[in-house]
């Protein structure tokens, strides 16, 4: 015997509203873990995107072989460039020196790098600078491009003169003029200033100069990336300043996992919360089934098949979890897309962007939870001996 679809839907609706408190609590118990799932996955995706973006840039990072804290001589740049004098495969080599720094009387640390100004533009095309910005950068030795997140936080704008106290030699206030707030850069935080200017300041105070923290080498293709990764290290093998060359993705990944393997820990957390949701939903479905054993038995005795009983319990569970999933996915989505919470900054990935695809995945996960949660009670309903179930009617 079959039940017409409209009747079936009405029956389903009545079942869900029969114990509204229980349905509500179950949906909430599914919604909360889904919320954590969405947040965790958004962070993990953010890291992956960050790394993938690094990989797309076809850049190599060249550091001193034993440790990144050991500087490399700036003269390495010419020797790396000499590996491809035509610049067809090795587009540009940019030396970077870490400055860090902070504003005067402000403990908040800044992320500032001094870079070779002539190759910086070609090495970081993803910054998508305007002609005016490039012009100002090349013309003005004191030029600094600031991350737009940092600019917002510090109240900086283009044209401002700012002073930064570096965390490395010469340890003297250095004055800069902002030429861009990097509106299109992936990186919200980092400030970039000219290395030739830093060198002048270093010489002025007699601090050691002529060193870089690492080089970024922009390659033309993936093959070139692989080729030069080996070629650069081979070039300096046996010298006083041997190098260690990694592609940018590996280089960044080392940084991420050095600090705290957040992506892995969040994945474990997300898996655990899904487990919590499965248990909570299974609990409800088994309570529902127990309360309605005789009802299911009656239905079966009227001629509705086991398949009907099975689908009845499954759809009810699916609906409960779908509601939980929708709420759980939409709350963080709305919070991080339309409210001030979206301005919270997270190291490296900067802002948490909750992609619609993550939400869809989460709702899919909620539906899966619904199916898994109802498996056991639905199976019990299929196997139920009608006669004995009816006999136990109170």
Partner 1 sequence: MALPLTYHWRNLFVRKTTTVLTVLVITSVVSVFAYMLGFSESLQHSLSVARDPHKLIVLKSGATAESNSAIPVDEYNKLSQVTNVARDEATGQVLVSPEMMVQVSLPRLRDGGRTNANVAVRGVTLDAFRIHPNIRPLGRIFSTAEREVIVGLAAAQQFAGLQIGDTINLGYGADRAYKVVGHFSADGGPMESEIWGYLPSLMNSYNRTMYSSANLRLADGSDARQIIGQIEGPAIQLAAQTEEEYWESQSRLMKVYLFVAYLLVAIMSLAAVFAIANTMFSVVAGRSRELAMLRTIGFSSAQILLGLVIEAVMLALVGGMLGCVACWAWLQAVGNTKDMFGATTFTTMAFKIQMTPLLIAKALGLVVVVGVIGALVPALRAARMQVVTALREP
Q: Which residues bind partner 1 (CB under 8 A)?
A: 21-22, 25-26, 28-29, 32-33, 35-36, 39-40, 65-70, 98, 100-102, 107, 109, 165-169, 171-172, 240-242, 257-260, 262, 269, 272-273, 275-277, 279-280, 282-284, 286-287, 290-291, 347, 394
Tokens of 367: 């539906």
Question: Which residue's CB is nearer to partner 1, number 121 or number 326?
Answer: 326
Q: How far is the CB of 157 from partner 1 (least distance, A)?
A: 25
Q: How far is the CB of 217 from partner 1 (least distance, A)?
A: 22
N-term to C-term CA, the chain: 26
Question: Which residue's CB is nearer to partner 1, number 70 or number 221?
Answer: 70
**Is the bond preceding residue 138 a cis peptide, omega within 30 degrees?**
no
Q: How far is the CB of 230 from partner 1 (least distance, A)?
A: 20
Cα-based angle 190, 196, 202 (whole degrees, multiple of 5):
95
Question: d(Cα 283, Cα 377) in Å, to the nearest integer?
Answer: 10
Question: Which residue's CB is nearer to partner 1, number 13 or number 171?
Answer: 171
Question: Which residue's CB is nearer to partner 1, number 221 or number 257?
Answer: 257
Q: How far is the CB of 271 from partner 1 (least distance, A)?
A: 10
CA 68 to chain centroid: 25
Question: Which residue's CB is nearer to partner 1, number 66 or number 388?
Answer: 66
Question: Which residue's CB is nearer to partner 1, number 140 or number 286?
Answer: 286
Question: Which residue's CB is nearer to partner 1, number 169 or number 190?
Answer: 169
Q: How far is the CB of 152 from partner 1 (least distance, A)?
A: 19
DSSP 112: E
> Which residue is associated with the tokens 């409209």?
6
Question: d(Cα 175, Cα 32) in Å, to the nearest integer?
Answer: 49
Q: Per-residue DSSP letters for 124-191? A: -GGG---HHHHHHHHH-TTEEE--HHHHHHHT--TT-EEEEB-SSTT-S-EEEEEEE--TT-S-SS-E
Contact 176, 151 (CB under 8 A): no
Question: d(Cα 59, Cα 106) in Å, to the nearest integer?
Answer: 34
* Cβ atoms within 10 Å of 184's Cβ, excluding its own: 11
Q: How far is the CB of 378 from partner 1 (least distance, A)?
A: 14
Q: How far is the CB of 77 from partner 1 (least distance, A)?
A: 20
């Amino acid at each position: 015997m079959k039940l017409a679809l409209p009747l079936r839907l009405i029956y389903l609706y009545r079942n869900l509203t029969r114990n509204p408190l229980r349905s509500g609590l179950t949906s909430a118990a599914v919604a909360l873990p889904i919320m954590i799932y969405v947040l965790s996955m958004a962070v993990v995706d953010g890291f992956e995107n960050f790394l993938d973006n690094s990989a797309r840039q076809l850049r190599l990072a060249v550091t001193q072989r034993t440790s990144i804290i050991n500087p490399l001589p700036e003269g390495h740049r010419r020797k790396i460039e000499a590996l491809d004098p035509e610049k067809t495969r090795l587009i540009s080599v940019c030396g970077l020196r870490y400055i860090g720094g902070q504003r005067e009387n402000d403990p908040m640390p800044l992320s500032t790098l001094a870079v070779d100004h002539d190759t910086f533009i070609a090495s970081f095309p993803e910054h998508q600078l305007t002609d005016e910005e490039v012009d100002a950068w090349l013309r003005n030795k004191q030029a600094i491009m600031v991350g737009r997140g940092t600019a917002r936080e510090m109240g900086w704008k283009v044209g401002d003169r700012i002073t930064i106290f570096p965390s490395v030699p010469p340890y003297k206030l250095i004055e800069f003029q902002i030429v861009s707030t990097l509106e299109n850069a992936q990186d919200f935080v980092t400030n970039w200033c000219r290395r030739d200017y830093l060198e002048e300041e270093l010489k002025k105070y007699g601090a050691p100069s002529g060193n870089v923290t690492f080089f970024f080498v922009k390659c033309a293709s993936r093959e070139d990336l692989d080729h030069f990764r080996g070629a650069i290290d081979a070039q300096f093998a046996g010298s006083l300043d041997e190098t260690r060359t990694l592609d940018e993705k590996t280089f960044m990944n080392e940084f991420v996992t050095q600090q705290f393997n957040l992506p892995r820990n969040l994945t474990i957390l997300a898996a655990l919360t899904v487990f919590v949701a499965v248990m909570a939903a299974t609990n409800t479905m088994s309570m529902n089934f127990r309360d309605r054993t005789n009802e299911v038995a009656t239905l079966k005795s009227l001629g509705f098949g086991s398949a009907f009983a099975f689908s009845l319990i499954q759809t009810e569970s699916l609906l409960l979890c779908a509601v939980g999933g929708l709420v759980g996915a939409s709350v963080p989505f709305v919070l991080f897309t339309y409210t001030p919470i979206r301005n919270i900054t997270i190291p490296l990935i900067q802002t948490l962007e909750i992609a619609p695809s993550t939400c869809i995945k989460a709702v899919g996960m909620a539906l899966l939870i619904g199916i898994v949660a109802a498996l056991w009670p639905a199976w019990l309903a299929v196997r139920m001996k009608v006669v004995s179930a009816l006999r136990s009617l109170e």
